[in-house]
Chain A
């Protein structure tokens, strides 16, 4: 699978884990962001094919960052990284324009299947 991905998560542990899952499938992680502000900034500089976005982050939340990125590029492909008990926030993110979501703890097959589906779709 080919694609340039920006990974946004405030935990280095989770960024490393998702990076390994993506790189094992041939995806290129072109950047990392540790909060919502950095995610928007990195997106504007890197123009990735896809963003994986944590929901709970400092400065600006993942949902705020989705809105900020879609203002820059309405066709941006963003996949939310959610955890148990965040169903309402996931719905809010999807309504804001995120394409799909993956659930922590990550199962590599599920992550790849979701990202492949989103990357295959026309923007």
Chain B
């Protein structure tokens, strides 16, 4: 596999995905039930996760995966119900942007952010919603 070629492809496509995610989160700030925006954030997180995993960028893949999981819950609810969710989603997006910048600037995998991964995976809103749906 031509790693340099795929790194370039990744940087282009991941940057587009994160820009789309940012626009969709801004819509969700005004309309927490925007189905198109909820689906878009979910798909962009999912796609970023797969691309990053293919190149061994585990830190990016992990944060994207956690965002995808959170958006799965939001999708099931049909809206962002927890006021704490949006700031957390924005924080996840900003972290992904920073990590992609590290790849762009160094060509190396970025370091992990275990604290954010833990917060995204275990925020009370997520657990509460999952339990409520069982």
Contact = CB atoms under 8 A, between A and B. Distances in A.
Interface of A: 10-14, 16-17, 20, 56-58, 83-85, 104-106
B43 A83 contact: no
A10 B43 contact: yes
Interface residues of B, number: 18
B130 interface: no
Contact of B43 (A16, A56, A104): A56
17 contacts: A10-B43, A10-B47, A11-B47, A13-B9, A14-B51, A16-B6, A16-B9, A56-B42, A56-B46, A56-B47, A83-B46, A83-B50, A84-B53, A85-B65, A104-B50, A105-B50, A105-B53
Given A85-B65, A85-B69, A12 B9 contact: yes
Interface of B: 1, 6, 9-10, 13, 39, 42-43, 46-47, 49-51, 53-54, 65, 68-69
B54 A14 contact: yes
Contact of B65 (A10, A17, A57, A84): A84
Nearest to B56: A105
Q: Is the interface of B mostly helix, strand, loop or mixed?
A: helix
Contacts of B1: 17, 20
4 residue pairs, one from A and one from B, having the closest CB atoms? A105-B54, A105-B53, A104-B50, A13-B9
Contacts of A56: 42-43, 46-47
Contacts of A12: 9, 13
Contact of A13 (B54, B65, B69): B54
Contacts of B51: 11, 13-14
A17 B1 CA distance: 9
A14 B53 CA distance: 11
Nearest to B43: A56
Contact of B6 (A10, A17, A57, A83): A17
Contacts of B50: 11, 14, 83, 104-105
B6 A13 contact: yes
A83 B49 contact: yes
Contacts of A16: 6, 9
A24 to B, nearest CB: 10
A83 to B, nearest CB: 5
A87 to B, nearest CB: 13
